[in-house]
Structure 1
Amino acid sequence: MSEDAALLEKIAVGDVDALAKFIEARKPQLMAYIHRRLGPALKSKVEAEDIFQDSSVEAVRAITPEFPGDKDPFSWLCQIAERKIVDAHRHHFGAQKRDAGRERSLDGRPAGGGDGEVGLVNLLVKSMTTPSKAFSRNARELRLQAALADLREDQREVIRLKYVEGWASKDIANQIGKTDAAVRVMLTRTLKQLQAVLAEQELR
């Protein structure tokens, strides 16, 4: 068995020392991910090394046989780093506040009877912004976190910008180089995909 395989086996059962070795070995890749995600404005306020250190500490504190379990540890570390970046953005620039009672659906109509979507959005925000150690071990939140990890990176990005940062779809389109219509379609399909995953898992 290779050293990497042995580390992964130990991480899967909650071995902190193995996780620490893995983090050190994958530091260049994780730092590259953090640099890509920070953005120019936040880079002027926060060092990538600080995000790396905070994420590493968070992972060591949070690891159990369920976290990351059979999930790829590097993807799990990226999720933690992503939440740290969101937290840093909120700290330095302030979160854009939205009135939940005026939440709009993707086609611009009031969310009204869309309780399922609103509930999913609330879970999305909590899953993408709350550190793992503070997570309620609510099964639905855990299922959603796993489903988010399985999304493509561009899907996670549009979900984050729309529901965590509160961006309009046209602004997201400018940010990622797609049309407004394409972003709306991606948002709709991604939400439906996440809802389908949650519904399927809850039937098991």
Structure 2
Amino acid sequence: MFNIFQIIQEINPEYNHEALANICFEYYPKIYRYIYYRIQQKEEAEDITSEVFLRLVKSVDKIKGGFQGWLYKIAENLLVDYFRRRGVRVRVMETVEDLDAIPEEKSDTMELLKQDDLERDMKFLTTDQYKMIILKYVEGYSTKEIAEIMHKSVGAIKALQFRALETLRKFFTEDTND
């Protein structure tokens, strides 16, 4: 992460480095974890995360909508490129209807997330469900913030959460019954 400041200095010597430092200290660990959970490779995750912040500097004047959502969108696009280069087919994202109210089940879910088989079971989630679980239970974002990051309605995020938790419960129950 520290080399990124040198590279940015070379790209644009007039860039506000104090603002960049604040952004990096706030978002770099979150973006890194988001990427790492998707690819499970430390060096690759560091490289992709650095590229996210380089792209931030190169196109900061083109930000549309919320900054946080824009930053995660860069990360997501780089992840798609990463998987495409490796010949990994990224699952098609589901379309979900908005649901009026799905209860937040954070305490039960946190217990579920502590289980050893979670990583294996998470492979059964759709791409959007996986992203939502990481953003909510690893990064601690609210449903509203996740909706902004993923460019979906709050109802759609609640539907993703409900379906993801149901899928994880199903596989967790099967694992414990074996």
- Bucket of the pairwise TM-score, normalised by the shorter protein: 0.3 to 0.5
TM-score by length of 1: 0.38
- TM-score normalised by length of structure 2: 0.43
**Bigger relative contact order, structure 1 or 2 (CA pairs below 8 A, ≥6 apart):** 2
